[in-house]
Structure formats: structure tokens, C-alpha cells
A and B are shown apart, each in its own frame.
Chain A
Amino acid sequence: MRRPHRRIETQLTVVGTGIAGFAAALFARARGLDVAQVGHSGALAYTTGYLDLLGVADGRKIADPWAGLDALRMTEPGHPFGRLANADIRAALDAFIGEVNAMGLGYTPAGAANLTALLPYGVTKPTLSLPETMWPGAAALAERAPALIVDFAGLQGFSAAEFAANMAAVWPGLATARLAFPGMESLQVFPEPMARALETRETRAAFVARLRPHLGAVTHVGLPAILGVHRPDTVRAALEAELGVTLFEIPTIPPGVPGIRLRELFERHLPGRGVALEPNLKAAEARLDPSGITLALHGPMEDLDIRAEAVVLATGRFLSGGLRAERSGIRETLFGLPVAQPDGREAWFRPAYFDPRGHPVNRLGLTVDDRFRPLDAAGAPVHPRLHAAGAVLAGQDWARSRSGAGLAIASAWAAVNAAGAELGSSPGDPGPTTAPGAAPAQEPGTA
């Protein structure tokens, strides 16, 4: 049987389906570019859902990320944020959050200061933008509102009692309860199926009946993130209307709902916005030539070549497969781009695991120019229209500085703007963002 061979041509191809990749695809469509995107599951699946910009500097939590960025540019001139102005970072975050809201997932706008967001073990972290389903938790903490924290029999990694105990100093008097989730009274339960089940009226009604007797006099109820995958804001509103309290979600450890929510949101909406998306296929090989870049993909039944005038490489780090540690050193996996690194594995780590300066290996990655183009050993762009964005970039340690999504979104913005300028599209040239015949499917009622 002949194995079909398909070839598509695009102006811009985004490699990677993490935050950086999805942001790049959306920004590129907004500029009117013709866009393809390929990728697979990755670190996005593990996120809390919070959009961090800069939460920690010099090992300390910071309240003002914008001032923090100004300081960072002085202390770490090689940091990718050093190539971006605050105004551009803000524009990028506003555009991204605007897109996500337009797709039906509520996020709070990026403000002037960090918010104090809740984490599963009863600790907090600074972040800039929160899902609407989580924001009331930050607000309730600020007010020390009388709240009930609920966990579920069989759900590992989230304990209401532990949360309340660890919070006691800053949020005293939290009540706790453990419920059996309707229809899932089995040994082990995961947040994802609970969230899916809460999208049905029947499960919501059963859930309300189980939760109501525990409410007492509280005004707020905190739950692990299970309020639906696809329409969390409507699920929350429907439950609040029944219960007469404010609900908020607390992210859980992997495997959690917030990352699944984001992946499914983008995968559901991007094709309708004109992105030719292959969400379950990594690029296997890539070829550079003066006029463009060709990516080869091997699907179950066909081979696919994508010819692109420009590429944004947003393949993440080790977990997502953008970088790989081999005996000879750390490699960029698709193009074999140079990764500047110290000699020998011993230099990747500092002796103390919790060394406040972090480990050098976490800062290795692709060195880029001001247009976010990876550089060769001599310091020249590897290709005039090959750009990189997100966690694959060198000179940053997003996990320590709590800047994962912010760095991904802002660098995607810069990379797309540079690519767009090279391809002759202007920022004010949105073109059609909805493909013909791709109006969103109707939503069922939830009242």
C-alpha cells in the first residue's frame, strides 16, 4: 500500500504546543500570517493554570514584577527578559489573556502587582494572572474569609486538613470536609474525570446535595480544581447559584485539570482560527535552506512535509523534548542548534541541591539575538527566519524565578513580531481570524 505523502506550505510554522507555541500561533494569526503548528503533550499539562511573570528574585518573593524586571535587566543582562521592554511584555500578556478569555476561559487581567495565589499543600505563590475559578481563593485569603476546604475520598495529593493546617498562620479557622464524589466512590479518583462529570446537570445536582450539609456559616468553599474542563466558569456559576456561597479552585499536583483545560481549549479553538494544527505529532526532522525551512513529520498513516518561510521553535526543555541530555552534552533535538554549555556534566549542578543560586543546567538553552533567532557558535543567526521562544531559551531559570508562562508568552510575542516583520505582515493587519465555516459549535445550557 502506498503510504500517502502530504505537503503543506505556510508562511510561519510553530513547533511546539506549550504556552509559548500556542501564544505564538495566536499572535501570528492576529497578524494575518498563514500558520501551521505541530506538537504533542508536554510541560503545559502540569501547570497550575496561573500565569506567572516574575514571582521570585534573589530567592525572595516579590510584589511588583514590573520593577522586578527592571532590576533583572541590570543584574542578569543575558536573561531573555533583557531583550524585551516592559511595554511589550504587557502587550503580549494582554493579547494572550484577551484571546483565552475570548475562547471562553476566564482569566484575570495582568495587573500592576503580583497576587498571592494558593497552592495544593497550603502554601502560596506570587503570580500575575489567575483563572477566574481560582481568583476568589486569592481574594478570600486576603480577607481571611470564613471558608470551608473540601477534599475527596480517594483523591491523592490534595488534603483539606493539610491545607488548613499549613494555612493556619495566615488564614486561621478554615473548616474542612471530605466528600465521596458522586459516582466515583472507588479507591482512587483523579481530578479529570470528576471535572468532566461536573459538566453534567445530574452530577452537579448530586454534588450539591453532598456538599450542602457541610456549609455551616462559611461564605467561601475551596475545592481542588475540578469545576469542569471545558466550561469551568459556567460550571462554577451553576454550582454557586445552587449553594449560595462563593466557590474557588485550588490547583492540584499533576495529573491536574488546569493544564488539560488549556491544552484542550487551544486544540479546540485554533483550527477554527485558521491554524493548521497537528496536535499529536512531533516534527521528526528539519532542513534549513536559504529560502525557508522544511519539517518532516511521520503520522500513523502518512508522511507530512511542512514547508515554512519562517519557524518559531518553542519545544521546551527536557520534559517536553526540546532539549536532551546525552553523554556528550546537552543537545537541541530538532535542528541540532548549538547549546552553550560548560565542559562536563559535573559543571551542570552545584554541590548543594537547594543552592539558592540554582543549577547551571537549568539555564542552558538556545542563545538568541534581539529578534529571538538562535545563534551559531560564531554569534551569527543560524538562519535568517528561524526564531525561538519559551523555556528552550538560555539564560533563564523560569521555575526558580516563577516566570514560566510570562516568559513563554513574551518571548513568543517578540519572536512572532520579528518573523512577521521579515515576512512583511504588519501588526495592524489581523486578516481573517476565523476560517470560513468554522463558527463555534453551540453551547448547551447550564442553568
Chain B
Amino acid sequence: MNAPTERPEIDFLAVARALMPAGATTDACVGCGLCASGCPAAGLFGMDPRRFVNMAALGMNEALSTTPWVWACTQCKRCAYVCPMGIDVSLLVGVARGAWPDDEKPKGIVRSCAAQRLDASTSAMGVRSEDFVEIVEETAEELRESDPRFADLRVPMDRKGAMFVVNQNSREPAVEPEEMGPMWKIFDYVGADWTYSSKGWAAENFCMFTGDDAAWKEMVETRVDAINALEPQVWINTECGHSFYTLWKGIERFGLEAKFEAGSLVSYYAQWIREGKLPVNADWNTLGVKFTVQDPCQLVRKSLGDQAAEDLRFVVKTLVGEENFIDMTPSRQANYCCGGGGGFLQAGMNDERRAYGKRKFDQIAATEAAYVLTPCHNCHSQIEDIGGHYHGAYHVTHLWTLICLSLGILGPDERKYLGPELAGINLPEEA
């Protein structure tokens, strides 16, 4: 994968001067190494962020254009957080990725992006628009039949003028459709005025990770057009982080016209709990099961900052009980990326990805919590994987699972991510 073939010659120093704010370009580096010390990708493929910055300053452009490390950097921007100059290595990494010929880029990322471009659904898992409509309707029908409380549940599709347009990660319709149920139940419970869009609904975006700006732009345009057409006030991104970042950032970067606001589902959970619409509590946690939470980089450090981290903690503490919540350290904007981001999960570099994830694993292990709550899908998959690899004794769940558990509306087949101690708790009466 690292054979140097013909690539556009990139002048990384010029790129740095063009993309980075004044005072935060590679010229400002004092060589302190804080970035390398704080980066979970440091040492993989013999590279780390300080070296990358140094080599850019020295004009070692070919080496930077060919190192496979650019696929191990998850573009999490933790380097910019720890660097006194705010030097953001992920910007250079994005440009370096783009210089790789498509046939030498990690196949998983390229394939995922290509799949997204095949259908208006923008799904990386090949779920077409009409499939999505059908899967949603079938799953909703099963839910209506199995749970009398939700006999009238509606899952609106392409409803113009709804307040919220909500997206959906492809993983659920593709492999675990029953996992869509909890989110629908929450919307039903709070009486949200929402809809899916049959076009551009997929909440993943690997095109940004390929470093191909044109593909990223195309993806964002398809989605923005689809959302604009439904005229919502707010586009709510599901619990996942990277599709949130790629959309708002893409809108800003490519100067697209979006006639809606961007919101995170996690912040809406917090709002609905504060407003009393979602009367969750921790009464179910009589065993005192301990929980920690992963702050998705894409949502917290890269997008909404500590406000999102605060909302996330508020939701989690309300759900599991203040005394049962154990924060990871570092956390919030200082949090480590889990190693699932940036396309790493799809890049086929399992050894490196797990080495990256060791820091996350240590952080989780240090909390000694039995559950890790991960809003984001990439985090979910990666944290499960490293848990298995390093023999961690924790479960990984989404927030919607616990919200429905607390409300007593989590069906028996919506519990696959719960451990045995919680599997039988608060089952809906009629079920």
C-alpha cells in the first residue's frame, strides 16, 4: 500500500500556511512533543504528529505523501487541543490522504465512499432509498404488533414541513433494524414533530475520510438538497458523531445553502429531560451498575464543545444515577479518540487500530465501569472490538437503549447490547 506511484506533488508547508490560522502554522512549532505524547496514533508506522509537522517544515513532501500513517491518524484534532500553538495536524493529514491514488487508498474506505455515491440514499452499506422505506415500514409494523403501547406508532417518511428531519446510521436498517425502535419510541413519547427523508438519510460519510473533497461535497450536497426540500427547522443528527461533523463542516467549507439548523440528538434528549417530556430516572438501577461515557470527538471537540459534553453527562447521570456515573479521564474536549474514527475501522489495519485503541481501553479499564455508553456508532464498534481484544469486562450501549429501559418501554428484542444483569429489568408489562 505504500509503493510511491505517481501522485500530485504537495508542498505541505504551503498547505499549512494556506489552511492553518496565523500563528498556528507548522512554522510556529517549538518541537515540544505535547502533540505526540497526547496522540494515540503516535508511533504507528514510525510516525507521530510532531514528526509530521517537522517533516512538513523540512519539505519532506514525498515521505508525507506516502506514509500510511495518514490512515491511522483519525483526524480527531486532539493535537490542536494540546498544542500551545494550536497546530492542527489533521488538516495536513486530510490533504495527504487526498493525494493517494484511489487504488492505493485503504479499500474499505474507498468502497464505502463509492457505495454512498451509488444511490440517493447515500448509504455506505448499500441500503437504497426504496429499501430503507420498506425496512422502516416493516420494522414499524412489527413494533406496532408486538407492543400494544405503540399500536399507533408512526414513522414519518418524507413529510414536508415537519419540525425535525432525522437521519439514521445504515448499520441499523442493514443489520439490526430492531435497534431503530428505541429512537422511534422516544420521538413518539415526547410527541416530536419529525420525519425521515428517503433520500440522503444515511448517517455516515466516508467520502470525507478518503480525502476526496469532490466526493465529500457531492455527499453533503445530496443530503442538504434532500433536507432543504422537506423544509424542516432543524436537522437532527442521530446519536452518531462523524456524520454530524461532515455535514455542517461540509456546508461551511463548500459554501452550500442549508435552510435549517443543525442539532445533535443528544442535546435534544437533554432538552426533553429538562422540560419534563422525557421523565427518565435511575430507579431501575437498584444494583448500582456503574457506567462511563465516551465523548465522541466529532461531536464534542470538533463541533459543539463542552456544551455537548455537558448535555451528554446530564443525560447519562439522570439515567444511571449520579453515584453510578464514573467519568473517564481525560474527558470532554480533552478526550482521546477511541480509534474507530477517520475511517480507521474500515481501513483494514486491525493491528494498528487496536494499538491506537489501547489508550481508550486503559481509560475505560481505569473507571472499572461495567458499561460504556457510546452515542456514536464508530465508537460503539471500536470500543466493543478493543474490549474483546484486550479482555475488557464491559458492555457497550447506545443512549436510546437506556432511555427506553428507564421508561419501561424497551422491548425484549431491543436488549442485545445489555448484559445479563440488565436484560430482564423494566420489561414492558404487556410484552
Contact = CB atoms under 8 A, between A and B. Distances in A.
| Bind each other | yes
Interface of A: 1-2, 4, 40-43, 45-46, 183, 186-188, 190-193, 196-197, 199-203, 229-230, 254-255, 260, 263-264, 267-268, 271, 277-282, 299-301, 319-321, 324, 437, 439, 441-445
Nearest to A43: B84
B34 A279 contact: no
B292 to A, nearest CB: 9
Nearest to A189: B43
Interface of B: 23, 30, 32-34, 36-38, 42-43, 46, 48, 81-86, 248, 251-252, 258, 260-262, 290, 301-306, 310, 314, 317, 322-327, 329-334, 358-359, 362-363, 365-369
Contact of B306 (A183, A191, A278): A278
Given A45-B84, A199-B362, A255-B32, A278 B305 contact: yes
Given A2-B261, A277-B306, A280-B305, A255 B36 contact: yes
A300 B302 contact: yes
Nearest to B300: A280
A325 to B, nearest CB: 12
Nearest to B324: A442
B401 to A, nearest CB: 21
Given A41-B84, A264-B334, A444-B367, A301 B303 contact: yes
Nearest to A264: B330
Contact of A1 (B42, B248, B333): B248
B329 A229 contact: yes
Nearest to A265: B329
B260 A1 contact: yes
Contacts of A197: 362
A185 to B, nearest CB: 11
A223 to B, nearest CB: 17
Contact of A186 (B34, B43, B303, B305): B43
Contacts, number: 136
A190 B37 contact: yes
A321 B23 contact: yes
A229 B334 CA distance: 13
A199 B326 CA distance: 14
Nearest to B292: A441
Contacts of A254: 32-34
22 contacts: A1-B248, A4-B261, A40-B86, A45-B82, A187-B43, A192-B37, A193-B359, A202-B365, A203-B362, A255-B32, A264-B334, A277-B306, A279-B332, A300-B302, A301-B248, A301-B304, A319-B84, A321-B85, A441-B326, A441-B327, A442-B326, A444-B369
Contact of B366 (A200, A280, A299, A442): A200
A424 B358 CA distance: 51
A432 B374 CA distance: 33
A267 B34 CA distance: 17
B105 to A, nearest CB: 26
Contacts of A320: 84
A381 to B, nearest CB: 28
A444 B326 contact: yes
Contact of A191 (B37, B262, B331, B363): B37
Contacts of A187: 43, 46
Contacts of A280: 81, 301, 305-306, 333
B248 A445 contact: no
B325 A1 contact: no
B132 to A, nearest CB: 25
A109 to B, nearest CB: 26
A384 B290 CA distance: 50
Contact of A279 (B37, B48, B324, B333): B333
